[in-house]
Amino acid sequence: MEAMPLRTSFTEMMGISHPIALAPMGGSAGGALAAAVSNGGGLGLVGGGREDLTWVERELSIVTDATDKPWGIGFQSWSATDEVVARGLEFRPHAVMLSFGDPRRLAQLVVDSGVPLILQVTDLEEAEVAVELGASVIVAQGTEAGGHSGRRATLPFVPVVVDLAAPTPILAAGGIADGRGVAAALTLGAAGALLGTRFQVTPEALVSAAVAKAILDGHGEGTERSRVLDIAGRRAPWPERYLARTLRNGFLDQWRGREQELEMNSAAKAQFQDAVDTGT
């Protein structure tokens, strides 16, 4: 039996059937995954992250070809360029989401285009800025989230943002992976939920089979928040205030507490990149 639509202020605004949005995960949420979520009745968001024009154009072409349902794209406020965001807007998304860092400059581009603006926040200061900028939807992300997040736990953080930003629809994010989690989000006053890791293990996600298996085999106690893997990455590290929750691994164990040393160790970074590239 087909699930009955659940109406909230978020579903009404976006014209979707279910109060669920795909987290625009960089490196995972491409056009195929976003289209699958949109076709399933949620809001699929392509993970523009720190990607370049070529990547964005390719993945947005995929999503526009694969669905006639509402979809969007997300960018990182601290790293995305005006050029990439402007190009994304040319594909006429139904929403643009900005996360992590000061969103003011990029938010103005989105607002001026007339596209609904979704702002993700990790603390009250960011929530106040989101209200000030007139966000159409605000995502209150808790520290239980996979990947990068702030320091507030989802359960106490969501109701505070709901009260602060009313009547703006709020999506809860962080540690939500099934219907019970979505129901809990609605009970907290949210108009829906943003899910990431759960969709990362789907066939449409842009991750290797080894990564998907590691996630499925993992458990909550096997994760850790750290800067180690960000420092070791080939691109500029994330802002220090946003730690990343990842599965524990040997490289993290080796460099935990030695972040400053790792920053200067090019051989260790090369070793990490070799492991990433080979899936080991």
152: domain CATH number is 3.20.20.70
Residue 245 lies in a domain: yes
Residue 255 lies in a domain: yes
Are 72 and 183 in the same domain?
yes
Query: By mean pLDDT, which of 10-19, 55-64, 103-112, 211-220 is the weakest?
Result: 211-220
Residue 210 lies in a domain: no
DSSP secondary structure code for residue 200 in this structure: H
Residue 182 lies in a domain: yes
Residues near 69 by beta carbon (within 8 Å), at least 6 away in sequence:
16, 38, 39, 41, 44
Does the pLDDT value for residue 170 go beyond 80? Answer: yes
Domain boundary residue, one of 147, 169, 200: 200
Are 52 and 105 in the same domain?
yes
What does the radius of gyration of the chain's CA atoms come to, in whole angstroms?
18
Confidence of residue 233 (pLDDT cuts 50, 70, 90): confident
Residue 116 lies in a domain: yes
Are 57 and 175 in the same domain?
yes
Are 22 and 111 in the same domain?
yes
- Between residues 218 and 234, which one has the greater pLDDT? 218
Residues near 194 by beta carbon (within 8 Å), at least 6 away in sequence:
20, 21, 22, 23, 120, 139, 141, 171, 172, 173, 176
pLDDT tens string 122-136: 999 999 999 999 999
Residue 4 lies in a domain: no
Does the pLDDT value for residue 51 go beyond 60? Answer: yes
Are 236 and 195 in the same domain?
no
Residues near 167 by beta carbon (within 8 Å), at least 6 away in sequence:
9
Are 188 and 250 in the same domain?
no
Domain boundary residue, one of 143, 173, 200: 200
Are 45 and 91 in the same domain?
yes
Residue 265 lies in a domain: yes
Are 47 and 184 in the same domain?
yes
Prediction pTM value: 0.93
Domain boundary residue, one of 170, 200, 230: 200
Confidence of residue 218 (pLDDT cuts 50, 70, 90): confident
pLDDT tens string 184-201: 999 999 999 999 999 999
Q: How far apart are CA 97 and CA 81, in angstroms?
A: 14
Are 119 and 243 in the same domain?
no
Residue 16 lies in a domain: yes
Confidence of residue 210 (pLDDT cuts 50, 70, 90): confident
Are 18 and 132 in the same domain?
yes
End-to-end CA distance of the chain: 42
Q: How far apart are CA 120 and CA 101, in angstroms?
A: 10
Are 14 and 138 in the same domain?
yes
Which of these, 188, 154, 189, lies nearest to 174 by C-alpha position?
154
What share of the chain in percent tops pLDDT 70? Answer: 97
Confidence of residue 214 (pLDDT cuts 50, 70, 90): confident
Look-up of token digits 């809001």: 43
Q: What is the pLDDT averaged over residues 108-133?
A: 97
Instruction: Identify the domain containing residue 262 by its residue range.
Output: 218-278
The domain total for the chain is 2
Q: How far apart are CA 74 and CA 117, in angstroms?
A: 10
Which of these, 263, 122, 264, 280, lies nearest to 210 by C-alpha position?
280
DSSP secondary structure code for residue 4 in this structure: P
Does the pLDDT value for residue 3 go beyond 70? Answer: no
Cα 192 to the center of its chain, rounded Å: 15
Are 157 and 107 in the same domain?
yes
